[in-house]
Amino acid sequence: MSKRKSKEICLTSGECISQAQRILRERFCHQKIPGKPFGVESQHKHLLELLKRTAVHGESNSVLIVGPRGAGKTMLLNCVLNELLEVKHVQENVLQVQLNGLLQTDDRIALKEITRQLHLENVVGDKVFGSFAENLAFLLEALKKGDRSSSRPVLFILDEFDLFAHHKNQTLLYNLFDVSQSAQTPVAVIGLTCRLDVLELLEKRVKSRFSHRQIHLLSSFRFKQYLEIFKMQLSLPDDFTDRRFAEEWNQNIKSLCEDRSVEDILQKHFCSSKDFRSLHMLLMLALSRVTVSHPAIKPTDLLEASRLCTMDSKANILHGLSVLELCLIIAMKHLNDIYDGEPFNFQMVHNEFQKFIQRKSHSVHNFEKPVVIKAFEHLHQLELIKPMEGPSVRTQKEYQLVKLLLDNSQIMDALQKYPQCPTDVKQWAASAFG
């Protein structure tokens, strides 16, 4: 790129970047993915076929989409639904009910929500009237009245399906599956869950009414495909307003994929998790560093983003402790080593700390006991130590048994990085037994 050229588009470069940011942010934050989801063609086909049969032929179905978090369950479903709704006949005909286990925490709320989303008669504006029993009877009657040929099919989408299984008597699930089993209004019940053992949660009568059709989304792609996904996610679409900027951007992404260090970072990420969400987080962090003065993603950006993603948070917390608190942690580490991980109380920690001070005959760390107790309580507040008994058991705070929630290596690492750590403290930590 020559200097003159860059000057020509200089006027719009701010807008270009702002637009690119908008498009990419929508992808990473709002999960609006371009094109079809990757590597799930067979599942996609299966689900589309199934939903088509409900929507077009009036067949009742039930299916569970199972996969780990961030594997693209919602993405797949949305993609299939979009494709389904493109058929004009279907779009007019099908009703959708979206439920979420996080929101509809019991059947009463879920039922109201269904009534609201189906726009049934007892809804005025946004409010639903009637008691639970009335609602249920009304809804069931409405669903029963219909038959396969004439009534409009309903798609029930249950997000966080496993939470619905915790409802009392699983009334909602029972009724939904029951409708899907008998020849009434055509319904499709689609459950999304991340639990592999979700069928074990269902009651026997509910389980027997479920069709046992499961679609598993176990991301089974390899690193090569992961790289491909990386490229696809970062590329700008063809209909970007400024063609030249988009071309340059895409070219840069392409060269980024071939970069050795980038590959290493992605490999590391790939090994820790394969889900899209963690990739999105990485990309989002890298993208957020793009500004007018820094118009393209560089390998260093990715490196920085990956450093942010993989930071050990406890080490950060340890870094901010005072010297006294650090000394207490070292004393606890010694207690752990001596007594083999047995829980200890403040008195023992203080005793250990006293031993250190006496031996070193350093008056610098010689603090009164209440000051030490305050430091101990701060550690408790940060949840670096955990009490063994519940809060109901009343003991003096000196004698409350606690456990250290830190690893030896974490402590030693933190000591290495601690700014201006006194040498005697360091030596004390390194010495084998107190």
Partner 1 sequence: MPALIQHPGYSESELQRVEEKLVCRESQVSMLLSIFGEPQQYSYPSVFIYGHAATGKSLVTQTLLRELQLPHALLNCVECFTSRLLFEHILNQLYAHSPSPDNEFSSHTRCDSFNDFIRLYRQLADLHQQDTTYIVTEAEALRDMDANLLSGFLRLQELVGGNVTVIFLSEIVWEKFRPNTGCFEPLKICFPDYSKAELQQILSLDHHPDYSADLYASYINILLGVFYSVCRDLKELRHLAALNFTKFCEPLVKGEAKECDTHKLWRNIEPHLKKAMQTVYLREISSSQWEEMQQKEGELHLKGLSAHAHVELPYYSKYLLIAAYLASFNPTRADKRFFLKHHGKIKKTNFLKKHEKTSNHLLGPKPFPLDRLLAIFYSIVDSRVAPTANIFSQISSLVVLQLLALVGHDDQLNSPKYKCAVSFDFIRAIARTVNFEIVKYLYDFL
Q: Measured between alpha carbons, how far is 306 from 229 in angstroms, rounded to an integer?
A: 17
Subset of residues 221 to 250 that bind partner 1, contact rule: CB under 8 A: none
Subset of residues 298 to 317 that bind partner 1, contact rule: CB under 8 A: 308, 311, 313-314, 316-317
In angstroms, give the least distance from the CB of 30 to partner 1.
Answer: 5
Which residue of 292, 407, 408, 430 would you call a contact of partner 1, by CB under 8 A?
A: 292
Subset of residues 105 to 164 that bind partner 1, contact rule: CB under 8 A: 105, 109, 112-113, 126, 162-163
In angstroms, give the least distance from the CB of 27 to partner 1.
Answer: 9
How many CB atoms lie under 10 A from the CB of residue 14? Answer: 12
In angstroms, give the least distance from the CB of 236 to partner 1.
Answer: 15
210 binds partner 1 (CB under 8 A): no
The DSSP output letter for 402 is E
For partner 1, give the closer residue by CB, 137 or 405: 405
In angstroms, give the least distance from the CB of 164 to partner 1.
Answer: 12
CB 60 within 8 A of CB 188: yes
Distant-in-sequence, close-in-space partners of 54: CB < 8 Å, separation ≥ 6: 60, 61, 153, 155, 186, 187, 188
Cα Rg for the chain, rounded, in angstroms? Answer: 30
Q: Measured between alpha carbons, how far is 380 from 402 in angstroms, rounded to an integer?
A: 9
Site mask for partner 1 (CB under 8 A), range 42-71, x = bound: --------------------------xxx-
Subset of residues 1 to 20 that bind partner 1, contact rule: CB under 8 A: 14, 17-18
323 binds partner 1 (CB under 8 A): yes
334 binds partner 1 (CB under 8 A): no
CB 68 within 8 A of CB 195: no
203 Rama sector, left if φ>0, alpha if ψ -120 to 50, beta otherwise: beta
30 binds partner 1 (CB under 8 A): yes
For partner 1, give the closer residue by CB, 25 or 207: 25
Q: Measured between alpha carbons, how far is 73 from 204 in angstroms, rounded to an integer?
A: 26
In angstroms, give the least distance from the CB of 66 to partner 1.
Answer: 13
In angstroms, give the least distance from the CB of 339 to partner 1.
Answer: 9
CB 269 within 8 A of CB 282: yes
In angstroms, give the least distance from the CB of 274 to partner 1.
Answer: 14
Subset of residues 355 to 414 that bind partner 1, contact rule: CB under 8 A: 364-365, 367-368, 370-371, 374-375, 381-383, 393-396, 398-399
Which residue of 28, 240, 276, 428 would you call a contact of partner 1, by CB under 8 A?
A: 28
289 binds partner 1 (CB under 8 A): yes
C-alpha distance across the termini of the chain, in Å: 64
Q: Measured between alpha carbons, how far is 380 from 384 in angstroms, rounded to an integer?
A: 6
CB 236 within 8 A of CB 23: yes
Lookup result for tokens 């006496």: 358
In angstroms, give the least distance from the CB of 143 to partner 1.
Answer: 21
Site mask for partner 1 (CB under 8 A), range 336-355, x = bound: ---------x-xx--x----
For partner 1, give the closer residue by CB, 121 or 126: 126
Which residue of 120, 194, 257, 296 would you call a contact of partner 1, by CB under 8 A?
A: 194
CA 150 to chain centre: 42
The DSSP output letter for 1 is -
Paired tokens of 213: 């059709």
Site mask for partner 1 (CB under 8 A), range 251-280, x = bound: --------------------------xx--
For partner 1, give the closer residue by CB, 150 or 272: 272
The identity of residue 245, as a single letter, is F
21 binds partner 1 (CB under 8 A): yes
CB 61 within 8 A of CB 188: yes
State the number of binding residues for partner 1 (CB under 8 A): 73
In angstroms, give the least distance from the CB of 173 to partner 1.
Answer: 18
In angstroms, give the least distance from the CB of 292 to partner 1.
Answer: 7
Q: Measured between alpha carbons, how far is 51 from 81 in angstroms, rounded to an integer?
A: 8
Q: Measured between alpha carbons, how far is 407 from 333 in angstroms, rounded to an integer?
A: 9
Lookup result for tokens 């989409």: 65
Subset of residues 75 to 104 that bind partner 1, contact rule: CB under 8 A: 100-104
For partner 1, give the closer residue by CB, 54 or 346: 346
